[in-house]
Amino acid sequence: MLTISHYRLRSMSMRDESIRRWIGEVPIYGIALALFALCVVLLTGKGISLDAEPAAANAWLYLVAIIAWLSVDTAVYLARRRPSEPIAALHRRYAGPTAAQRWLAGTPLLALCVLLMPFFSKMKAAIPLFNDYTWDARFIAWDRAIFFGHDAWQVLQPLVGYPPITAALAFLYHAWLLLLYLGCLYFAFAAIDPAIRRRFFLTYVLAWSVIGGGVATLLASVGPCFVGPLFGDPAFDAQMAYLRAADGQIPVMTLSVQEMLLDWHLADADGLGSGITAMPSMHVAIAFLFWLATRRVSPMVGRWFLAFFVAIWIGSVHLAYHYAVDGLVSVVLVAMLWRASDWIFKWWDARVAASAARIQPILRTKTVPAE
């Protein structure tokens, strides 16, 4: 009987903790739902239908990421702890009360991540329906103004223009995808400061929607690697020739992806990962966001993410995906959204505290018997 009562109390405690966390995260879900609704209105207004296939594909990728995360964590845990009863120890770690509460509490954020990228991909692929790609010439001019008449890639070429370095930057550019899956799983389920978690995810949602959707549509551009195939502009032919020559020595992974994106664009595909846009750079934006968040979790890890962010920005230019100003605009906008997220949660927490202060006396009056 005591065991049953203890189990019920523990279940109620887990539920209450999850509810408290969800209440604190309401701005994330409210803003995300509003943005999703806006996307639906905009897309259906252009005759674009929404289907479940991209979300299902993204859910599968998150499932693979969860399995990979648990596999690595299990191996590290067993190697370090060497428990006498490994199965029981793993059960406590991944299915015990604390773990169960963490899985439950983080599930809404996981669902949000599963839905976010399909909506972004649809909007990204639909950019030409809302605005023509007319900004490339301006961004080329801005880069040349910053770098004294030279394109940004030409300035970087003496430093990174060697096939092994190019291949390494291309590998890191692909590894960035791990942030969207393993990185988001960490922030959703890890035992970290809730304030960091909330601020990260609200900025994450706003970055993909405002920066990757709204600003990318207003400043529609295709980037150095696509101005030749799409517009016949030879401005970056020399850069692409170098990348292809480097690929002949050591595979440059991004070249095949660029060809795939171009094929999808010409075929009007709008599936997961499709679409072409340069300004602003979402690679730079998300790498910068992860640095802002991880340095508050661990200064040491934050230093690694700072190096990764710099490498991604350099790679975005060197690999012909972006102009240098694409990354600059991304950094400024993410910094603004990061600050705005802090203000939003301070306002929300004050509202929740005020509501609790009003409700508490009423509950006390109703529950305390009259004398």
pLDDT surpassing 50 at residue 53: yes
Q: pLDDT by residue (tens digit) across 195-252?
A: 999 999 999 999 999 999 999 999 999 999 999 999 999 999 999 999 999 999 999 9
Is the C-alpha dihedral spanning 112, 57, 263, 170 positive or negative?
A: positive
DSSP string, 169-203: HHHHHHHTHHIIIIIHHHHHHS---HHHHHHHHHH
State which H helix or E strand residue 268 sits in: none
pLDDT over 50 at 371, yes or no:
no
Residue pLDDT, tens place only, 317-332 = 999 999 999 999 999 9
Of 242, 234, 277, which Cα lies nearest the Cα of 153?
242
pLDDT of the residue at 6: 52
Q: What is the pLDDT of residue 63?
A: 96
DSSP assignment of 59-101 equals HHHHHHHHHHHHHHHHHHHHHHH--SSHHHHHHHHHHSHHHHH
Give me the chain's average pLDDT, please. 90
Per residue in 251-290, pLDDT (tens digit) is: 999 999 999 999 888 887 666 666 788 999 999 999 999 9
Count up the domains in the chain and report the number.
Answer: 1
At residue 367, the pLDDT reads 52
SS3 250: coil
Question: Which residue range is the domain that position 180 belongs to?
Answer: 2-367
Render pLDDT for 142-183 as a digit per residue (tens, 0 to 9): 999 999 999 999 999 999 999 999 999 999 999 999 999 999
Contact (CB, 8 A) for 207 and 293: no
pTM of the model: 0.90
